[in-house]
Structure 1
Amino acid sequence: MDGTTVAELMAELAALDDPKVRAVNERHGDDHGVNLGALRAIAKRLKVRHDLAVQLWATGDSAARLLALLICRPKEFTLGQLDAMAREARTPKICDWLVNYVVKKSPHAEELRVAWLADTDPVIASAGWALTTDRVARKPGGLDLAGLLDTIETEMKDAPDRLEWAMNHCLAQIGIDHPGHRARAIEIGERLEVLKDYPTPPNCTSPFAPIWISEMVRRKAAATTTGG
């Protein structure tokens, strides 16, 4: 087993901190300056080290926490630990990796999804919506899709940015994956106009739900035709 210590890793991360990378990240609300490719290379070297991951998370350093999420064993975290980690993770990249790399693989994912969805903290609620979007796409059975659309219709327009983004993603996913709700999802998007003017690079799909839904449905149809 790799015998690298937390102190050695913290020194390694400090040496990799790049002011230019940090400046770019800070524009997106993150507060670390380590290239993510370099982080992944360290994680590949370390492999799974849950004990080390817990210690790295405890440092409070953002780069260390991102590394922790790459080398932990998701199923070893208790529900309480994951909830506490979500409440400590305030930057977008850590929240995103925590949800996608750890919580989604946890046996507590559904319980946390339900609890977080109703949380008054918009950062926690956005994590709940991210987990809900994943269920809409992969395991929609038992979800009240019409009820989700009701909530989005009522609350998305006035939600803080990160929560608005998460709800919009769920709106688009419902429209993309569930034809019976597609017309309503598009209508909600058109009426609320959330992210309608979001600057989108060439060859990228706009996050404006009506455009996003239509484009992804078109691609699916094209793939089906080609495959057939």
Structure 2
Amino acid sequence: MACLALIFPLAAQAQDSDSRNWEGEAELGVLASTGNTEETNINGRVGLKHEVARWRNTGEFRSAFSETEDVTTTEKYRLELESDYKFDEQQYWFVRLFHEEDRFSGYDFQSSLTTGYGNRVWQVGERSFLDLSAGAGYRFNKLEEPNADGTRDDDEAIGRIAGRYDQALSENALFRQTLSVEMGLDDNETTTESETSIQANIVGGISMKAAYRVQHLSDPPVGSEDTDTELSVSLLYGF
């Protein structure tokens, strides 16, 4: 609960009159993965955003699951929370919490807490922009199997750089590219993640979305692949 309080300082504390500026989206579709899991499964996602004059708070929860002959072949849960304090229209300070549990990744869980500076370096209208950010924090992962020293802990200070590019293709279509790199400051263990997506409105708040995601670990757990890919097609409902 302390982490949640840190990540999401309520906009009410800022006493902003626009405290009802909430947006959300729910997504459900089919996902084909390669790497540590090679399956076609059902994926779901829920995202929330709250933005006022000085604060922008976002949260996202994802899950993927599949079962073959009563045997679980995919089981993944992912949570991301971020709170940005905006100095002006472009510059902001962020605090980000990440937690993932992937049954077939070689980890019991992976988590990190980072903070740093971000800048919206380019923007046209409300739907086309480029955000770049850099910061530092701490990563704490728990391995399924012990390290050479007999421990299952994989934790260290990290540096993080990230970018997000949104481009409105039309009134009803949007292209999005995200890229992030987290590097350990002790052993240079690096996690790189990229997601490319395009979505188009069908009717009302319902859209069709296609996405391709790649995650690469420079030093994966023993017996695990270093690269996972996911290709998904889903329906998205905005509210």
Q: TM-score range by the shorter chain?
A: under 0.3
Question: Rg bigger for which structure?
Answer: 1
Structure 1 or 2: more helix by fraction: 1
Structure 1 or 2: more strand by fraction: 2
Give TM-score, length-normalised by structure 2.
Answer: 0.25
